[in-house]
Amino acid sequence: MKTIDELLSEGVDGKRVFVRADLNVPLADGTITDDGRIRAVLPTVKALADAGAKVVVASHLGRPKGAPDPAFSLRPAAARLGELLGKDVAFAEDTTGPSAHETVGSLAPGGVAVVENLRFNAGETAKDEAERGAFADALAQLADVYVGDGFGAVHRKHASVFDLPKRLPHYAGHLIANEVEVLKKLTEDVKRPYAVVLGGAKVSDKLAVIDQLLGKADRLLIGGGMAYTFLKAKGHEVGISLLQEDQIPAVKEYIERAERTGVELVLPVDVLVAPEFPDLRTKAPANPTTVAADAIPADQEGLDIGPETRKLYASKLADAATVFWNGPMGVFEHPDYAEGTRAVAQALVDAPGFTVVGGGDSAAAVRTLGFDENAFGHISTGGGASLEYLEGKTLPGLAALED
């Protein structure tokens, strides 16, 4: 895989460089609530602009249905990128139409432009190769060189991620190169003890990665909504907690495999419960109760790991040489259920080894709870991409950059 460093050494002065970024930031009433993904692509955009390239930044945002939708416009992201760069960033009202061509055509060396949401075009996500290819052909008209730096999208076989690199000289940006280097530390010659913390809502989202990690990790700590399927598989009452009944047979098999292979599988010993899900808009006091993990009342819902579990999990991470964490321990968006996630984040900060926050909600939680991002070894920008890499899957966006 050629990197941006090689491209810069070859020279980019006056060249149109298409940067496939991941500007898929959360918005509330048109305001960005977390600009982490924009900041993550800054080193690549700035390096190219400083070297005299005409930088064309493209990304998706949300899930528009292949047509323009003002709710998913990239305009706020373009404005924030300009603020972070400290320079004007042009914005094209379309992706491959007249506005895009005019905006890119007017760029001076060192200039930066953002084109409108890639997913406003049905060809971006089309399963039909010809339709996808036609959109990639149109995108290729805007650039001389391609730089892939949207790690959060590399597990998607989309036109701008998979097809476009085949049409232009292509390189990996700083972000993708760094993400791949980190993921190799989690899969090749891993320093031990190797502890993995998995949370989030659905166990089905994590089955494939658990399958792989049972042969690689020394300790596997389970929290979040997915923990209740594990507790149920062990025969415990879980009340009205989130539960995937259809996954219980698979979970039972993984519990047995962990015992056979010597992987320490750690489940909650106590949880915070309440009779209903909290109001995340008002964040009104929820007044949860702490109960043993094997004594959840039938009319209560588990919403966070309890204080004893927090201590237990911190102890299991205290000597870890490598830690990977993906998924919150509870409903961290509400202050009454944020302490489990906070405790895990703090345990990573305190751990002596290399710590990786695996993107998605975990990365959002770290920022929401006020942690210094530099206190972690690495915070990934792509939760789904990170998990699929750890599952051993071939990621289309990385494969395209390797050709």
Q: Which residues are annotated as a binding site?
A: 22-24, 37, 60-63, 119, 156, 206, 302, 333, 359-362
**Active-site pick, 15, 16, 20, 37:** 37
Catalytic residue among 152, 382, 384, 397: 384
Quick check: is 150 catalytic? no
Annotated binding site for (2R)-3-phosphoglycerate: 37, 119, 156
Whether 152 is catalytic? no
Buried b (16+ CB within 10 A) or exposed e, 219-256: bbbbbbbbbbbbbbbeebebbbbbbbeebbebbbebee
Cβ atoms within 10 Å, residue 138: 17
User: Which residues touch 272 (CB under 8 Å, ≥6 apart)?
Assistant: 288, 289, 290, 302, 303, 304, 305, 306, 330, 336, 337, 340
- Is 39 catalytic? The answer is no
- Per the annotation, binding residues for substrate are 22-24, 37, 60-63, 119, 156
Q: State yes or no: is 281 an active-site residue.
A: no
Write down the catalytic residue from 360, 382, 383, 397.
360
**Among 63, 65, 92, which residue's Cα sits nearest to residue 77?**
92
Annotate 113-146 with DSSP letters as a single string.
EE---GGGSGGGT-SSHHHHHHHHHHHHTT-SEE
- 176-207 in b/e form (b: 16+ CB < 10 A) is bbbbbebbebbeeebeebbbbbbbbbebebbb
Strand order through the sheet with 54-58: 90-91, 112-114, 54-58, 16-20, 145-148, 170-172
Q: Are strands 112-114 and 54-58 parallel, antiparallel or unpaired?
A: parallel
Catalytic annotation, pick one of 39, 167, 185, 202:
202
Q: Identify the helix (H) or strand (E) that includes residue 309.
A: helix 307-317
Kindly give the pairing relationship between strand 264-266 and strand 219-222.
parallel
Binding site members for ATP: 206, 302, 333, 359-362
Catalytic positions are 37, 202, 360, 384
